[in-house]
Amino acid sequence: MNALIFDTETTGKTDPGLVEAAWIPIPSPTSIAQLAGELVGTEGARNTVVQRFNPGKLMEYGAMATHHITNEAVAHCPPAGTFRLPAGISHLIGHKIDYDIGVIDAAVPGEGYGQIRGIDTLVLAQRLWPECDSHTQSALLYFLMPEVATALAMHAHDAAVDVGINLRILNRIVQELQLRGALRPQAGWTFDELWEISEIARVPEFMPFGKHKGLPIADVPPSYWDWYLAQADVDPYLVRAYREGGQPWPWPRPATGQSAPQASNPTPKPEPLAIPQPVQQPSTTPRFSFAARPRP
């Protein structure tokens, strides 16, 4: 299975059309550390691919002010409907990657891009470093890599730059997950395992909205769940949090002072989120934790 670090620039917030796509091929988990290790200063990653497209509609001014791509700059580019991912891609990796997957799926609806598994570095960073007050890519640069942050952040929202930044962040995420025992050391893990950890990280611990916003999921009154579950557009990750009894992941955190156990077997694939599931009791065997690790 192959993965891409992937990013798009679009026409704006309303019905976003594809303007630019950039990606870095990640043939295997070992490629992450290898490619990140080749980065020097503010240089981009080798094999970065950048393509621009005519979205067939005018761009919003807010979008142009963000990525600095004008209507004139893409007027003679190929239509967005001609976009294609390389063959054999099983996973797309990026910050808020669901947005990018939605953009290319809408641009080329017949290719089935909406079914590709997305590994979201945003939710992983939020779980791993809750002490950071912002989890945008630029903020994480200043938090994790201050030595290159200013130079790189100045060019953020250029898709080619953004995928290079994401490669750096992804490498730090993988290192952190290995330190905590979520991923096996070196390259003894798969993209599917990283995807599942990303899925687990999406499951909220606290109610994200409404009159019970901020309340632990397990403490939200049953009457509110009765109302919410009857809605037409429920969040499948919030439903999963409810059905798992308020547990954001099915493994308890290690006790204070106890090192995180090393994962030894591939993580079983989760059940489809759209299908209601019975409440499951947490496993008594801890595997990993998103608990904060003291920073040097």
Q: State which of 198, 231, 266 marks the end of a domain.
A: 198
pLDDT the model gives residue 182: 86
Fill in the DSSP letter of residue 211: T
Q: State which of 198, 222, 255 marks the end of a domain.
A: 198
12-21, 38-47, 190-199, 217-226, range with the lowest pLDDT: 38-47
In a domain, 130, yes or no: yes
Rounded (10°) angle between helices 159-180 and 191-202: 90
pLDDT the model gives residue 184: 85
Who wins on pLDDT, 235 or 277?
A: 235
In a domain, 249, yes or no: no
Say if residue 182 is in the same domain as residue 68. yes
In a domain, 285, yes or no: no
- C-alpha distance from residue 288 to each of 162, 180, 201, 205, 243 (Å): 29, 6, 12, 16, 21
In a domain, 294, yes or no: no
Say if residue 100 is in the same domain as residue 10. yes
In a domain, 261, yes or no: no
Say if residue 118 is in the same domain as residue 167. yes
Number of structural domains (the chain) is 2
In a domain, 128, yes or no: yes
In a domain, 287, yes or no: no
Strand order in the sheet with 49-52: 49-52, 18-26, 2-10, 89-94, 117-120
Say if residue 138 is in the same domain as residue 179. yes
pLDDT the model gives residue 264: 38
Q: Which residues of 267-296 are buried (b: 16+ CB within 10 A; e: fewer)?
A: beeeeebeeeeeeeeeeeebbbbbeeeeee
Say if residue 213 is in the same domain as residue 132. no
Say if residue 193 is in the same domain as residue 216. no
Say if residue 72 is in the same domain as residue 184. yes
Residue 245: band (very low, low, confident or very high) from pLDDT cuts 50, 70, 90: confident
Say if residue 191 is in the same domain as residue 210. no
pLDDT the model gives residue 38: 83
Maximum CA extent, the chain? 60
| Averaged pLDDT, 258-282 | 43
Say if residue 118 is in the same domain as residue 237. no
Say if residue 111 is in the same domain as residue 210. no
Distance CA 9, CA 103 (A): 9
State the amino acid at position 27 in one-letter form: P
Say if residue 236 is in the same domain as residue 190. no
pLDDT the model gives residue 227: 94
| Averaged pLDDT, 260-277 | 42
pLDDT the model gives residue 156: 80
Residue 25: band (very low, low, confident or very high) from pLDDT cuts 50, 70, 90: very high
The answer, yes or no, to whether residue 173 has pLDDT greater than 90, is yes
- Mean of the per-residue pLDDT values for the chain? 84
CATH number of the domain encompassing residue 190: 3.30.420.10
In a domain, 164, yes or no: yes
pLDDT the model gives residue 254: 44
Say if residue 153 is in the same domain as residue 81. yes
Containing structural domain, residue 24: 2-198
Distance CA 253, CA 87 (A): 39
For residue range 96-115, what is the model confidence (pLDDT) as tens digits?
A: 999 999 999 999 999 999 99
110-119, 180-189, 270-279, range with the lowest pLDDT: 270-279
Supply the pTM of this predicted model: 0.82
- Where is mean pLDDT largest: 42-46, 229-233, 281-285? 229-233
